[in-house]
Structure 1
């Protein structure tokens, strides 16, 4: 049975699956700098607004001249490339970052608010899509105005505004690894015990059943090497009750793992978690890179990676560019990592806030250790909401 399952997995990884689809929403945006009453309404005339593509940021125009920069609202609007919701399908919009408070609407209906300039967030839009085939309009109010409950309260860097990272439309089956769990993939691989002999991994996932009936499925967790060969796989049959999201878990053991060893050998496995029907059809899948390692800190002897002394020397990195602010392209992020590598660094401090998934993934590939932190700088907010807002930001950082 295990041989057959492995064969099915290899076939599944070699073809394009229709179970989950992602479409980047980077072009065809209309933007207005300032507030507009009722801008969430799909019938609002935005023909006179600025036309632009993402990533987009504001405030840098004044800041880089040494002037006080704009801290206030701006509106973004665009049509979604989807009509009425298809039977058995669900739709989500995921934002990789918006500075600093984002209110999101589809067809005038509020999906919710995200507070925090640096973490990703995601809303389900299935129930807000048109039912008559008319265009679906996504509207986002973003504000980088200072907030008493929102870090950073102070600091020696600018908090620019805008949709400055990727925005994507995600389409899934009725049952999925939920993308709404703090904007995370809905799947986490916990490295419970790692050594040169074996790596014990606990897979934790949040599975959402949007169907109105029980869904008997098989949860499959697989680790592949860099060449695509299956090195370990486990599965479990689970029946998911209707209209709820539940946590599920599975343990996977990798024998004699090749460890991620920093700049010396930044080896990454591929970690794949799937939901399959009783007939073996792929329902949903999430793939992530996986670097297996263990570490320790000794007050007298310093940092140890995989049982060996490892010298940490590196840089603080901000996510900005001249004439761009926070609106960095993938090429910008790649150049930053290339420069950091050329300097001979072994570690990067993401100062003073959560940085993009793409930047962190580049560091993983380059063998750079990452120091991640929240945007708590100098002062803790006196507002009674500050601790809860900060806790939410910390969950964003951990789960993403």
Structure 2
């Protein structure tokens, strides 16, 4: 067997030992299981990771804020080589001890980080202790938020054992290499592969570095071998460029084509290390008049925002949870997601890569920038931004880096850092922008504002785009919902660059209903009733206006799922007949702006509005108001249907009563059958599309 064949064989044997779809964090990696957890540091219980100290609390008025103690043991057999602990997520800050020695204090609840443990590890059994804390900390973002700041080890922890020479996990995040594509176009693609090679030994070492580009089926598309010397006790900054034509582009949801870039280190015939990452070649543009273009073609980005949260688990979602949620995103037909308010677990971005979803991701600089803020607060914000970009850089789905969200006056007070300091917002936005552009000159960097750029200095913020958290119509009548476009037009006149919408929504309790549309006006002093009918009308109006604004950079309906917010008391009265209302305490402290309930059991009506608009691969027929079970005797009412069918027929108690060939609504998916009356104690209404897809509801008399 020649050298080339033996090297390929060594790589094949090594890869065969890894679990399917494994991420290679180190040449030898061990997931640390069998953890113990405590809130007082005295009484411990066994837990598995991911874990969140708030997972069992549900949605209380207040939630646990304080220390979370974790401990486990691991074995080291060879103390002569470097070892690391790699944390996928520890909220909100954490202290790491190995054998009683503090090796790290990390401030940032959502970004992964490595801890080198050589200083305190011993041959044999080693004890690791991690103290997480999610209490208030004015020197760390987020200080205030409209989401719960949960605590704990909400990601896995890995023990990494390195060889004589290895690819560092400290410089380029958990993939240990960075793949840059500074030039991508129809005629040529430039790829730059970077990694840091560490030689902790006392001798200079000659190695061979192999760089490969692999097709999805494993076929080799490019390979280069380079020999180099790495000096003793040193780090070598490896960089390799190559130029190719005729590559298959990553083209959104219709063709999310992914290559693999792999780096292998050899010393003679012995493989020292291996790292790889999925990449996608694409180019994009955000134009103030044309909107978003992907690979040179208009590609309107329409989707949802997501929080990393699930009932019974809070932050500690596992792989099956992520896969289920993103299956729902694809069912909806969205092509864009805003991963809201903080970086999510890396698996979320892997799923977006493979599904073709374009992503905005952001750091948790939300709400607070006060006149009394100290420099250590801004240092932490810059650290979290640097960690996010370093860790997530290779994901082709990410197009937008978000610097902050909702820095306005309402959350800034003497309780935190004093009143809002708009000058500091402008200054620190500029600092963040320069940091990101230095690290990543290709992607777009922006912010999410709540004020229509109405605060001093905001129209001059340094950014590639301005997005708005804007639900125009909240606490207004449906007749006023048309102001959404006017508000965005006002932003466009103030902001010279591209404008986007990072969130629009309405509080919707899917079990609160009215047949009397005169009730459909929100009272800001009494938010107990979040009628589903009100939310339907708001979303229909907003969706129609968005469709008339193709120049928007992206729009995110938000969020996809309801999530808990301690102290929020809205939308907690239920009614199935529009007349009798009951208090449901299970809905206290819940943001009900989602399209689906937190437990994932109930898709609200508006889920099917967007599915009808976005999912062109599936015929949708959905009768709205299905949970308003009773109607007044003798009164006329309408059946409203969300559907992307070419024609609909309505049957009442089995008899055809109406047929439509087109909807009357500007969204193109809202169909209304009017002038109906109940005939029996319970009547059945069935709607059938031209291809046979159907839906039916049963309605009763009051």
Report the TM-score, using the length of structure 2 for normalisation.
0.52
> Are 2:188 and 1:178 aligned?
no
Instruction: State the 1:60 CA deviation.
Output: 4.4
Farther-moved stretch of structure 1 (388-397 vs 12-21): 12-21
Structure 1 pair 233/158, CA: closer, same or farther in 2 (3 Å)? same
Instruction: State the 1:323 CA deviation.
Output: 1.3
Residues of 2 paired with 1:212 and 1:192: CA distance? 37
Residues of 2 paired with 1:294 and 1:141: CA distance? 43
SS at structure 2 position matched to 1:76: strand
Map 1:1-400 onto structure 2 (within 5 A). 5=4, 10-16=8-14, 20-25=27-32, 27-34=33-40, 36=41, 48-62=43-57, 64-80=58-74, 82-87=75-80, 89-131=81-123, 133=124, 135-181=125-171, 183-277=173-267, 279-380=268-369, 382-400=373-391
Residues of 2 paired with 1:182 and 1:200: CA distance? 20
SS at structure 2 position matched to 1:173: coil
Residues of 2 paired with 1:28 and 1:371: CA distance? 35
Instruction: State the 1:152 CA deviation.
Output: 1.2
Larger Rg: 2
Structure 1 pair 153/353, CA: closer, same or farther in 2 (3 Å)? same
Residues of 2 paired with 1:8 and 1:228: CA distance? 18
Per-residue CA deviations over 1:176-228 (Å, capped at 9, x if unaligned) read 11112374332100002112333211111112111111121122211010111
The answer (yes or no) to whether the contact 2:90–2:152 under 8 Å persists in 1 is: yes
Residues of 2 paired with 1:302 and 1:11: CA distance? 49
The answer (yes or no) to whether the contact 2:66–2:133 under 8 Å persists in 1 is: yes
The answer (yes or no) to whether the contact 2:195–2:238 under 8 Å persists in 1 is: yes
Instruction: State the 1:145 CA deviation.
Output: 1.0
The answer (yes or no) to whether the contact 1:264–1:367 under 8 Å persists in 2 is: yes
Structure 1 pair 206/380, CA: closer, same or farther in 2 (3 Å)? farther
Residues of 1 paired with 2:50 and 2:258: CA distance? 28
Instruction: State the 1:383 CA deviation.
Output: 2.2
Moved over 4 A (4+): 7-10
The answer (yes or no) to whether the contact 1:316–1:349 under 8 Å persists in 2 is: yes
Structure 1 pair 204/182, CA: closer, same or farther in 2 (3 Å)? closer
The answer (yes or no) to whether the contact 2:79–2:121 under 8 Å persists in 1 is: no
Per-residue CA deviations over 1:91-110 (Å, capped at 9, x if unaligned) read 11101001011111111111
Residues of 2 paired with 1:374 and 1:392: CA distance? 10
The answer (yes or no) to whether the contact 1:233–1:252 under 8 Å persists in 2 is: no
Residues of 1 paired with 2:6 and 2:149: CA distance? 48
Q: Which has the higher contact order (CA 8 A, sep 6+)?
A: 1
Residues of 1 paired with 2:162 and 2:333: CA distance? 42
SS at structure 1 position matched to 2:218: coil
The answer (yes or no) to whether the contact 2:177–2:276 under 8 Å persists in 1 is: no
The answer (yes or no) to whether the contact 2:260–2:276 under 8 Å persists in 1 is: yes
Residues of 2 paired with 1:294 and 1:85: CA distance? 46
Residues of 2 paired with 1:214 and 1:340: CA distance? 51
Residues of 2 paired with 1:4 and 1:344: CA distance? 49
Residues of 2 paired with 1:253 and 1:354: CA distance? 32
The answer (yes or no) to whether the contact 1:61–1:69 under 8 Å persists in 2 is: no
SS at structure 1 position matched to 2:160: strand
Residues of 1 paired with 2:384 and 2:223: CA distance? 33
The match for 2:608 is none
Instruction: State the 1:281 CA deviation.
Output: 2.4
The answer (yes or no) to whether the contact 1:186–1:207 under 8 Å persists in 2 is: no
Report the TM-score, using the length of structure 1 for normalisation.
0.90
The answer (yes or no) to whether the contact 1:94–1:168 under 8 Å persists in 2 is: yes
The match for 1:42 is none
Contiguous gaps of at least 5 residues in structure 1: 37-45
Residues of 2 paired with 1:126 and 1:100: CA distance? 25
Instruction: State the 1:166 CA deviation.
Output: 1.0
Give the strand-richer structure, 1 or 2. 1
Structure 1 pair 242/125, CA: closer, same or farther in 2 (3 Å)? same
The answer (yes or no) to whether the contact 2:166–2:197 under 8 Å persists in 1 is: yes
Residues of 2 paired with 1:103 and 1:380: CA distance? 26
